[in-house]
Chain A
């Protein structure tokens, strides 16, 4: 019964995050940027734009310029999150995990701590810094709580109260082929997976959209070449007729 509910929730959440993000991305892509507004100095070629974007995504370049504390906590959290997500592939893909997943495993294991520490730092700022306290809504706190709870429940299973990880793998990898196997009833596991499902569901209707949205930010993704190349939105071209 419990296994069926979780399986169905995973399917629903997957549909919501995939369709929701796809719709948003389609809308961002379809909406024209009427004017050239890269924040300058900006690269003059599209190759340069790709590099600028990579620096933003990999190193959080602008945030580093802005504030070293936010950068430290935010960058640590995001990079650790990537490691943790990749590590978790071993529990979701069918069959034996490939060698590179085995290689990443020890790093991913301890990245969980870095992730929670980064999140804790970001949350602390929402209480301690008057400016950040002022701009924080309940949802800003709750998303951090959600991520911290996911991290802590996961770490608890890894280091304190292990669940039957083989059974989890059988359950998760079965979902790919619509087989509902038995999910262990370890309470930390149920909380962990339940919160991940919540995170997936809120992704396309919350500020978590910053992940795909960054790639559509005109101040970062436009090349600085307005004198060389005429830029005009379709609706603005209508005005010229």
Chain B
């Protein structure tokens, strides 16, 4: 659907609950993956003739291999606590975008074939037969979930719709209905090492250009090394950081922080991607293969530490899964957690006092901060629970004078997804992305009106891309979203840097 057709939802309050409008998002679906993108990941090229048997066999397998799948499908009591928690429901009013209803699309089939009540009394418990239409419905509505986990915060049993969405997408891919956007990208990572398919030569050229830009700007030579054996730190960052705005300004920020901290670091062309789209399609094997590239790069380069750049779902996979998927990390320096977030590093340096910061460089901005969903609800930074909320804000406040938080019900663990996460950051879902962003945009508009907020900082490549695309629909410039390390970059004064005072003197 072209974005011109989208009705921008007008909300009085970020969490305003609409009356349900059944069918309002029926039929919306992203492009199916073609055979070449399916087969590269080990999936069949098109819908297999025995899709029904294979779907049920896969469900059986998941029930045996994944406790969350089994328990979450069994124990929901339909209390309704989650029904008004999904940003896609708030933005579209389609009842199938209520978390419990989204789960029920799969639960109804699970009940029919795997539970006593559903086998013998399907009408009583809302069980239904598996048909091709059911698969199509799964394909549509399991691609209207960004796996952001907001529902799981509010469920009395912690049922996480993201787990069901991932399972459903994995089943669909296994019977031949994979999603083009995610599968094509995972294929590129397997081939080249990053989502964009940037080869080492192009990558090196980009980094050299950036080095020149920094030198032009500051008069200081700051390096952006790649594939340097013997460096202490391997930086793994989303490939969007190499070319997209405002991501690239964040990358410049990391480089300046490393430079000023005096550490040796390197990027890797082999593992030039922090994002792991294997998470989005719920496929353990693909997620593991992508993670293993980081292990190989760390070994080949002989680094002592691994640090991840600003990226949301990437940090989830890094923080929560990397030890599982690519560990143990016994060959790295045990004095540092593996992996670390760039914000943990930068905050450590700020606390040590190694960075010279001039907050007034950001005085033209009044900022708020968007907690990225998977950083907030599926990971941590620092030693204490909640560090993922405190550390980014502490860094922002260390480099900016003007900072205001949004409505407390829309930040921290209650944060709203940007609307483009979980494998939905594709133009064929633009209608959904614009509507799904409306709760966050409404919260932002509130602080713009009350406190004159001009910019929103984020630490996720998807959030940054999504917001720069949808913010203009809500009356903001596309550069109103900024990287946190872009703010650090603005404020940092490098040793030997020509300042304006020097220039005028």
Contact = CB atoms under 8 A, between A and B. Distances in A.
Contacts of B155: 62, 66
A136 B95 CA distance: 12
Contact of A63 (B72, B81, B83, B389): B81
B77 A218 contact: no
Interface string B76-110: 11111111110000000001001011001000000
Contacts of B126: 137-139
A35 B77 CA distance: 25
Interface of B: 17, 19-20, 22, 63-68, 70-72, 74-85, 95, 98, 100-101, 104, 115-117, 123-126, 149, 152-160, 163, 284-285, 288, 319-321, 323-324, 327-328, 337-339, 376-380, 384-386, 388-389, 413
Given A34-B284, A139-B125, A219-B68, A39 B153 contact: yes
A43 interface: yes
Mostly, the A contact residues are: helix
Interface of A: 24, 27-28, 31-37, 39-44, 56, 60, 62-63, 65-67, 70, 74, 122, 125, 129-132, 134-140, 142, 202, 205-207, 209-210, 213-214, 216-220, 224, 226-233, 235-236, 239
A241 to B, nearest CB: 13
A63 B82 CA distance: 9
A235 B65 contact: yes
Contacts of A227: 319, 323, 337-339
B24 to A, nearest CB: 13
B125 A134 contact: no
Nearest to A129: B80
Nearest to A69: B80
Contacts of A42: 380, 385
B299 to A, nearest CB: 15
A34 B288 CA distance: 12
A78 B98 CA distance: 25
A207 B327 CA distance: 38
A67 B83 CA distance: 10
A15 to B, nearest CB: 16
A130 B94 CA distance: 12
A41 B388 contact: yes
A37 B163 contact: yes
Contacts of B68: 33, 37, 217-219
**Which 8 pairs between the two chains have the least Cβ-Cβ distance?**
A213-B75, A41-B385, A137-B126, A66-B154, A219-B158, A132-B80, A131-B83, A220-B158
A128 B219 CA distance: 67
A134 B98 CA distance: 10
Nearest to B101: A135
